[in-house]
């Protein structure tokens, strides 16, 4: 009983502890991150134009396996596991915000000497891509990005889905993520993300559950939830209009996580953008309607 009480008090204390504000100034301008050994897969021919794929929250590079084979016939693909997800490192710190992830991805780009990149980000990964584009626009990094593709992208302030809101509650979130089975959480996440549940790949649910079982995966999951919405998100929203990169926006019209009205808003803000809306598709077009995603990308490229 004393052990359980100690754990619960430790969780409550850590949740209330002072952390570095999740702002552009603190997490981009003043932040220092060391390169991490981010895990990735490559497809296609190396001398072809490179496309760097960044997955969403709670996912991994494997989510792109439905679109990678077709795109690899023409392009060099790099599918990345973000810090804390897939099989990339899950470090014991608080650097899991969209800003921090953008810095780690930029370190990866520098380490691998990548140039003339098309960066592809979906959901949380789309938020990372937008931050990288802003960093380039503000000349904080070398100009390595020449196109951007955003799929059901995080971009604007909005209420979190109920499952994620519950995880932010001290103690309740910790107990919930550790007491619920990994398969249950993975299955419910996919049911929330798909418009047509019959199309949910069993292999995707199994893989997601296995990733949640990895050491420190739930730590990274919870840290990301607590860092998901930047403190200065409303300031950043107004910066998108400065991004000049040619951008393709792909959106599942029936997304209940990030409503389609955000797609139209993002299209208005990104002056050099094209918008493709996919009816009867939810939050994960790359898995629910992969051929439509491939067709849209090939036409854009």
pLDDT at residue 46, rounded to an integer: 82
pLDDT at residue 123, rounded to an integer: 97
Within 10 angstroms of residue 15's Cβ, the number of other Cβ atoms is: 16
Share of the chain above pLDDT 70, in %: 92
pLDDT band at residue 226 using 50, 70 and 90 as cut-offs:
very high
Q: Residue 10: pLDDT above 70? A: no
Q: Residue 5: pLDDT above 60? A: no
Q: Residue 201: pLDDT above 80? A: yes
Q: Residue 191: pLDDT above 60? A: yes
Q: Residue 1: pLDDT above 90? A: no
Question: In this predicted structure, which of 65-69, 113-117, 174-178, 271-275 has the lowest mean pLDDT?
Answer: 174-178
The H-assigned helical ranges of 168-289 are 172-179, 182-193, 202-212, 217-226, 233-237, 261-269, 285-288
* For residues 58-77, average pLDDT: 97
What are the residues whose beta carbons fall under 8 Å from the beta carbon of 116, sequence distance 6 or more? Answer: 49, 50, 144, 146
pLDDT at residue 14, rounded to an integer: 47
Computed over every residue of the chain, the mean pLDDT equals 91
CATH superfamily of 2-300: Alpha/Beta hydrolase fold, catalytic domain (3.40.50.1820)
pLDDT band at residue 217 using 50, 70 and 90 as cut-offs:
very high
Domains in the chain: boundaries? 2-300
* For residues 208-222, average pLDDT: 93
C-alpha–C-alpha distance, residues 291 and 301, integer Å:
15
Residue 143 three-state SS: coil
Q: Residue 255: pLDDT above 60? A: yes
pLDDT at residue 3, rounded to an integer: 47
Q: For the segment 131-181, what is each residue's pLDDT rounded down to a tens digit? A: 999 999 999 999 999 999 999 999 999 887 766 776 777 777 777 777 788
């Amino acid at each position: 009983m004393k052990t359980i009480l100690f754990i619960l008090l430790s969780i409550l204390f850590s949740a209330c502890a002072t952390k570095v504000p999740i702002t552009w100034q603190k997490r981009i301008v003043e932040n220092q991150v060391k390169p991490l050994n981010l895990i990735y897969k490559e497809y296609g021919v190396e001398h072809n134009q490179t496309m760097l794929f960044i997955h969403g929250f709670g996912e991994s590079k494997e989510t792109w396996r439905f679109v990678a084979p077709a795109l690899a016939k023409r392009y060099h693909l790099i599918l990345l596991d973000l810090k804390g997800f897939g099989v990339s490192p899950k470090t014991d710190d608080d650097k899991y915000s969209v800003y921090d992830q953008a810095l780690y991805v930029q370190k990866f780009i520098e380490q691998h000497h990548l140039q003339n990149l098309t960066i592809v980000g979906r959901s949380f990964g789309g938020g990372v891509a937008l931050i990288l584009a802003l960093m380039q626009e503000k000349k904080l990094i070398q100009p390595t990005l020449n196109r951007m593709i955003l799929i059901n992208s995080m971009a604007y302030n909005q209420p979190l889905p109920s499952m994620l809101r519950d995880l932010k509650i001290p103690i309740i979130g910790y107990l919930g993520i550790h007491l619920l089975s990994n398969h249950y959480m993975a299955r419910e996440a996919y049911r929330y993300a798909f418009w047509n549940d019959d199309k949910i790949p069993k292999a995707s649910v199994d893989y997601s559950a296995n990733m949640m079982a990895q050491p420190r995966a739930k730590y990274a999951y919870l840290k990301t939830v607590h860092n998901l919405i930047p403190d200065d998100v409303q300031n950043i929203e107004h910066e998108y209009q400065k991004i000049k990169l040619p951008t393709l926006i792909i959106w599942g019209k029936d997304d209940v996580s990030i409503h389609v009205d955000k797609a139209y808003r993002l299209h208005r803000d990104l002056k050099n953008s094209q918008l493709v809306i996919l009816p009867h598709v939810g939050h994960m077009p790359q898995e629910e309607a992969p051929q439509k995603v491939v067709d849209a990308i090939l036409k854009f490229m």
